[in-house]
């Protein structure tokens, strides 16, 4: 399988893979304490910050907009145009209304044809007598709806291709911004946001990132028939922030834990919105810009575009969802007996009083309602009724890895930490 995967890779990827293998052999045969850059003089040179794929025997389903074109043999290709319906398409290819009806009755999977979109492709197999014998509709790069004529009439099913997963590695050092470092390391926008999300409970990516901070990560790359179809999860990552080292390992439950099994997830998000900057910090003696007087600022103001989704910082019950001329549209959430969070100046609210919400659930959309000078989210965090600085308050941690899973997790954690360390060692040897 690995041989076939390598054979189908583009030439530049095959050369890169050979380079990585050569480099690993050199490192393994070299003394660890006296390794010198000169020992790589005859090796294939790899570029720092580039993600290189290595085969890993694991398989998952994937979907991506980068899907390769599906081109079955002996089929007519029909590209869905604006205003097309299944009936119109089949009629253009000489099929009767009865055939269209029979296709729609071919089983539950056939209902997917109700959602064909402009630009999609339908593949029709028509015999010499002009009869439709098969229809295929790719749903994504791994799944295809197949409807075929049989002795019992038309029957439908979903064909799913096997997806091979390899590991990709990336490493970067911040010299201007975290975002730029991620781009230079070859990460997509989505991967950069995922990395920030993993460490977002411990690191304030708007205010606490410093020049010299660095990250090192391993993540999934998916292939179908040797062709790249998209990226999967981050499986392990390390972030060094102002000298503090944070390491996250993904377990089989999809959650992230420290190498010793503590949850990366806290009971509350550090910031409940993807913001561009903080316009006003927690300040008990702030001069109010509208009321022109000293008035405590008991929260943090996060600036972002109007309409940006605002998330519940933790699980809890909505105890207030209303509008007034000072707070505009606002939501208060009670989290157990000790904690309460407040969200002010929404453009609109997405929850009602009495609803139970989950951490990360959208509760409203950022706006500029109420007594404000510009669009932002005002966020407050209360402990036993006392306002605390949301950016510095110590957050209670979520539950650690289950004791019954601890030994299994530790084996995975040791393997993933070794992968990260090996990647770091390779990059250091190259510099």
6: domain CATH number is: 3.10.450.350
Outline where 105-250 has alpha helix (H). Answer: 178-184, 189-199
What is residue 117's DSSP assignment? -
**H-run or E-run covering 247:** strand 244-250
- 187 and 310 share one domain: no
Q: Which domain holds residue 23?
A: 2-61+164-265+413-430
136 and 173 inside one domain: no
Q: Is the pTM of this model over 0.85?
A: no
**Cβ-contact 18, 11 below 8 angstroms:** no
pLDDT of residue 205: 80
The Cβ of residue 296 has, within 10 Å, a number of other Cβ atoms equal to: 12
Predicted confidence at residue 151, as pLDDT, reads 87
The DSSP result for 154-177, as a single string, is EEEEEEE---EEEEEEEEEE-SS-
Q: Is residue 422 part of a domain?
A: yes
119 and 253 assigned to the same domain: no
Question: What pLDDT, on the 0 to 100 scale, is given for residue 12?
Answer: 45
**End-to-end distance of the chain based on CA atoms, in angstroms?**
34
Q: Please tell me the predicted confidence (pLDDT) of residue 68.
A: 38
| pLDDT for res 154 | 94
The phi and psi torsions of 266 (rounded to 5 degrees) equal -105, 170
Whether residue 222 is found in the same domain as residue 299: no
Q: What is the C-alpha to C-alpha distance for residues 126 and 92, in angstroms, rounded to an integer? A: 13
52-61 exposure pattern, b = at least 16 Cβ within 10 A, e = fewer: bbbbbeeeee
pLDDT of amino acid 287: 57
384 lies in some domain: yes
Number of domains, the chain: 3
Q: Based on the fold, state whether residues 170 and 57 are members of the same structural domain.
A: yes
Residues 101 and 138 in one domain: yes
- Residue 397, pLDDT score: 76
Task: Using alpha carbons, list the distances in angstroms from residue 391 to 154, 204, 299, 382, 414.
Answer: 60, 8, 9, 12, 32
For residues 206 and 231, state if they share a domain. Answer: yes
Residues 193 and 125 in one domain: no
Same domain, 30 and 175: yes
* Within-domain flag for 406: no
Q: Is residue 118 part of a domain?
A: yes
In a shared domain, residues 136 and 50: no
Reference 219, options 262, 248, 241, 179; nearest CA is: 248
Q: Are residues 131 and 168 in the same domain?
A: no
393 domain residue, yes or no: no
Task: List, in order, residues 6 or more apart from 38 with CB less than 8 Å away.
Answer: none
Q: What is the 3-state secondary structure (H, E, C) of 318-345?
A: EEEEEEECCCEEEEEEEECCCEEEEEEE
Give 10-residue mean pLDDT values along the chain (431 residues): 48 51 49 35 38 40 38 82 92 93 92 90 92 92 91 91 92 92 92 89 81 96 89 96 95 94 86 76 59 72 91 93 96 92 96 93 95 91 91 82 94 95 85 68
Strand ranges for 99-163 from DSSP E: 121-126, 132-138, 143-150, 153-160
- Position 313 in a domain: yes
Of 127, 160, 193, the residue that ends a domain is 160
- Measured between alpha carbons, how far is 317 from 266 in angstroms, rounded to an integer? 18
Instruction: Mark whether 203 and 323 lie in a shared domain.
Output: no
């Amino acid at each position: 399988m690995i041989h076939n995967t390598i054979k189908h890779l583009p030439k530049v990827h095959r050369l890169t893979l050979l380079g990585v293998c050569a480099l690993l052999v050199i490192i393994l045969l070299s003394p660890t304490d006296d390794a010198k850059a000169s020992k790589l003089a005859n090796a294939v040179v790899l570029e720092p910050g580039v993600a290189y794929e290595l085969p890993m025997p694991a398989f998952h389903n994937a979907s991506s907009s980068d899907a390769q074109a599906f081109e079955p043999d002996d089929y007519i290709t029909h590209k869905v145009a604006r205003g097309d319906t299944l009936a119109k398409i089949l009629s253009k290819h000489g099929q009767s209304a009865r055939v269209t009806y029979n296709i729609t009755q071919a089983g539950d999977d056939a209902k997917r044809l109700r959602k064909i979109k402009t630009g999609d492709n339908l593949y029709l197999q028509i015999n010499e007598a002009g009869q439709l014998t098969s229809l295929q509709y790719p749903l994504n790069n791994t799944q295809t709806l197949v409807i075929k004529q049989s002795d019992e009439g038309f029957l439908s099913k979903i064909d799913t291709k096997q997806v091979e997963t390899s590991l990709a590695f990336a490493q970067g050092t911040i010299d201007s911004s975290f975002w730029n470092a991620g781009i230079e390391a070859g990460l997509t926008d989505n991967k950069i946001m995922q990395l920030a999300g993993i460490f977002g409970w411990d690191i304030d990516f708007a205010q606490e990132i410093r020049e010299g901070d660095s990250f090192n990560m391993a993540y999934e790359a998916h292939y179908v028939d040797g062709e790249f179809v998209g990226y999967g999860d981050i499986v392990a990552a390390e972030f060094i922030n102002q000298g503090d080292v944070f390491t996250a390992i993904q377990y089989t439950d999809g959650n992230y834990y420290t190498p010793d099994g503590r949850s990366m997830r806290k009971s509350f998000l550090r910031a409940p919105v993807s913001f561009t900057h903080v316009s006003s910090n927690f300040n008990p003696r702030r001069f109010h810009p509208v009321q022109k007087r000293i008035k405590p600022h008991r929260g943090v103001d996060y600036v972002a575009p109007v309409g940006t989704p605002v998330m519940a910082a933790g699980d809890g019950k909505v105890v207030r969802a209303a509008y007034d001329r000072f707070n505009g549209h606002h939501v208060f959430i009670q989290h157990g007996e000790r904690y309460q969070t407040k969200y002010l100046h929404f453009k609109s609210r997405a929850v009602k009083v009495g609803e139970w919400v989950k951490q990360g659930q959208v509760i409203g959309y950022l706006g500029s309602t109420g007594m404000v000078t510009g669009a932002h989210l005002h966020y407050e965090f209360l402990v036993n009724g006392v306002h605390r600085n949301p950016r510095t308050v110590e957050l209670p941690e979520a539950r650690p890895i289950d004791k019954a899973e601890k030994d299994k997790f530790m084996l995975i954690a040791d393997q993933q930490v070794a992968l990260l360390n090996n990647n770091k060692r390779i990059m250091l040897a190259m510099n």
